[in-house]
Structures are given as structure tokens and as C-alpha cells.
Amino acid sequence: EFGLMDDPAEVEVATACARSGSRKPQGLPSVRDFAFTATLGEGSYSEVKRATYLRTGQEFAVKVLDKAFLKRKGKMSTALDEKNALVRLSSGHPGIVRLHHAFHDQYQLYFVIDLVPNGEMQTLLSRIGSLSVTCARYYSAQIVDALAFMHAKNVVHRDLKPENLLLDENFRIKICDFGTAKILEPGAESDQTFVGTAQYVSPEMIQKNETSFSVDFWALGCIIYQMIAGRFAFQGLSAYITMEKIKKVEYAFPEGFDEEAKDLVQKLLVREPTVRLGAGAPGTPYGMHTLRSHPFFSVIEWETLWNGSVPRLQ
């Protein structure tokens, strides 16, 4: 029997929720406390369902993972990594989905997370093609702010892409899917598993299976490019060709691409991970501070990023 929930994590989540002011549940919840209403999405190893928590009437997204399937695919530890990353982040950031409860029964694991009602950034991009520079700037700033929090908790996401950027009730971003996330403690050995999605994967991940916080900044560069250009920065006829282009950092900007955005993307899509903007140690020329103060973000008010007005989508 896989004792996923026999560790102290549930206690940690409850404590984190209590700290941030939300109500502490009376006793641990179980699947009987939820009424499942719709399917929100399906992943390779999970199904995400909309559900009402019967004790409070509050709505959540519940990620359901099948134990036997995970075992067969050798993915139990991945599920545990996902939960551990979510627990790490459960003190809460407006740009990251929060885990409220994690429990299991004989057959399944359940992660109860914030319901994010307005779908994926990818769907929005497919619908409207590309975003205005104002919108792209706003969403990029939200990703940067969420990454700063995530990385400060030593969590690297490793699969940032528009499918994993959900839009909340006000059309602000919430990063989801920590299924490939990793906790990178300082001084610990680098993880050597290849993960990610072809178009957003970094050269060092392709060449050396090397993970660091910097892989999220590479993906950020790809996402900013895509939001403005309306197409992938790197795309070949196959995943192999796409990755060959990535290894050579072979991409081109379309005519008229905003100059400041271009400068930022060029400073993110850098082969050497340590000199990617945002990835350097605090206070260094490549630190988070330099990323936040890049000219592309000069009009961004970081203090009101999560409660100020949201630019009209266009």
C-alpha cells in the first residue's frame, strides 16, 4: 500500500490554511464530502473535476489520480512530488493554484485545489491569435511575480506553457499542473529526469537533462514570444526538429515585434542557464530584481498587480 497521505503533509496544508486565515476543516475530508459536477480537464495521469465541498458549499477543482494506473506506469513518486510541491506553495500566492486538501481512498488520490474558472491561456491564444503588447506585458509580469514566489520556496515548475496558465474569475493568471515540478534544495544534486513540452524545453534540458530554476525563465521567454507573435518561438515538423532548433537557439522575430519585448525575450532565450535574466542570484546582473526592472515592465505597478485593474483582452 502506498502511504501517500501517511506523511505529515496534510497537517502542513491545514496549518498553512489556518495561517492564511481560511477555515480549518473539522476532521480530514474524504471523497464523500464532495459532490462532483463536471470534468474540467484530463491529463496523462489524472482527471480534473469540478466539485462542491459539501461541508461549506465552496467549489473546488479536484485532481483525481488512479493509484493502480500510477503504479503500473511507475509514476507514484511523480504524484508525490506534485503534492509536495503544492504543499510547499500552500501558504498561497494569487498567481499559483493552492492545495486545500489532499487525501486518498483505496483506489485514488485526490488533490483539492482552487477552482480557476476561465480556462487556459492556450485556449485564449487559439481563439484570438495573439495578445496586445499591453496584455502580454501584464500576463508576463504576473508569471514573473508567481515565479519569484515559487522559486523562493525552492520549487521549479519545469513545464510552464500556456496550457498550464489558467485564468481566474478576473482573468488574472494562476499557474497550475505541478506534475513535473521539483523541489530543488540549495546544495542538493541536480535532478536528471527529462521533462517538459518540446516547444518550451530549454537547451540544457535537451542536452544534459539538467534542471535548475533557469528552465522556467527559458519557458517564460518562449511564452512572451508566443503571446505577442501568435506562434511558437521554436517549431519544427517534429519534436526532434523543434529541439534541434532549440539547441541552436534558432528563432526569428516577426516584423513589428515590440522592441522592449524583443530585448527581454533575447535576454531570456539564452543558451547558458546562469546568464538568463531572472535566473541569477539576488543582487547579480541576472537576478530577479533585474528581470522586474527590465524596460518592458517599466509601466507595471508590481504592488497592485493582483488587485488593480485588468487590461481589456485584445
For the annotated catalytic residues, the residue numbers are: 159
Q: Which residue is nearest to ligand ATP (CB)?
A: 43
Q: Is 149 in the site for ligand ATP (CB under 6 A)?
A: no
Distance separating alpha carbons of residues 145 and 159, to the nearest angstrom: 17
Angle made by CA atoms 231, 272, 193, in degrees to the nearest 5: 80
Which amino acid type is present at position 243?
M
Site track for ligand ATP across 41-80, x = CB under 6 A: x-xxxx-x------------x-x-----------------
Q: Is 277 in the site for ligand ATP (CB under 6 A)?
A: no
The nearer residue to ligand ATP, 155 or 166, going by C-beta atoms, is: 166
From 114, 145, 204, 216, residue interacting with ligand ATP (rule: CB under 6 A): 114
Does residue 265 sit in helix, strand or coil?
helix
Q: Is 257 in the site for ligand ATP (CB under 6 A)?
A: no
Q: Is 116 in the site for ligand ATP (CB under 6 A)?
A: yes
Distance separating alpha carbons of residues 308 and 169, to the nearest angstrom: 14
CB neighbours of residue 41 within 10 Å: 17
Which parts of 74-113 interact with ligand ATP (CB under 6 A)? 97, 113
The nearer residue to ligand ATP, 70 or 265, going by C-beta atoms, is: 70
From 10, 120, 145, 204, residue interacting with ligand ATP (rule: CB under 6 A): 120
Q: In what order do the strands lie in the sheet with 46-53?
A: 34-42, 46-53, 59-66, 108-114, 99-104
Q: Is the separation of the CB atoms in 126 and 139 below 8 Å? A: no
Q: Which residues of 171-191 are buried (b: 16+ CB within 10 A; e: fewer)?
A: bbbbbbbbbbbbebeeeeeeb
- In the complex, the residues that contact ligand ATP under the rule CB under 6 A are 40-41, 43-46, 48, 61, 63, 97, 113-116, 120, 163-164, 166, 176-177, 179
